Amino acid sequence: MHPDETETEFEQRWWEFMNQMRERFGKKPDLNALLLLIGVQELGQGAGPFTKEQKQDLMHIATCRLFSLSGYYELEQVDEEGWPHFRLVKPVPFASLKEQERMLKWHILEYFAEMGDE
């Protein structure tokens, strides 16, 4: 966690992370690609192939998993097919689109740091 992190430090951390992702995948991923990557990692069943609907589900899993780092969601169950299901614990604070994106980026950085990938 980086409670006293300045905006400049945060942006630097994000830039460094995106450079690592570019090196790993050969191109810079967007937020949707990162969410899909996290969802696939959380599902733990390999890289697919996935239908469009499954990709949306994977991105939802990723969002829930990311926001579970701050206590907004918690894992409720894993179904018989191995898909995790989360429940909302407390509402995610309403924020502007820019604030939502920053929150998402911060949670992505924390997720990969927790996984030992940063």
Per-residue pLDDT tens digits for 8-24:
999 999 999 999 999 99
Instruction: Judge whether residue 118 has pLDDT over 90.
Output: no
For the whole model, what pTM was predicted?
A: 0.87
Q: Which is nearest to 73 in space by CA: 81, 83, 85, 55?
A: 85
Residue 27 lies in a domain: yes
The total number of structural domains that make up the chain: 1
Determine the structural domain holding residue 57 and report its residue range.
7-116
Report the DSSP beta bridge partners of residue 84: 78
Residue 2 lies in a domain: no
First CA to last CA distance, the chain: 13
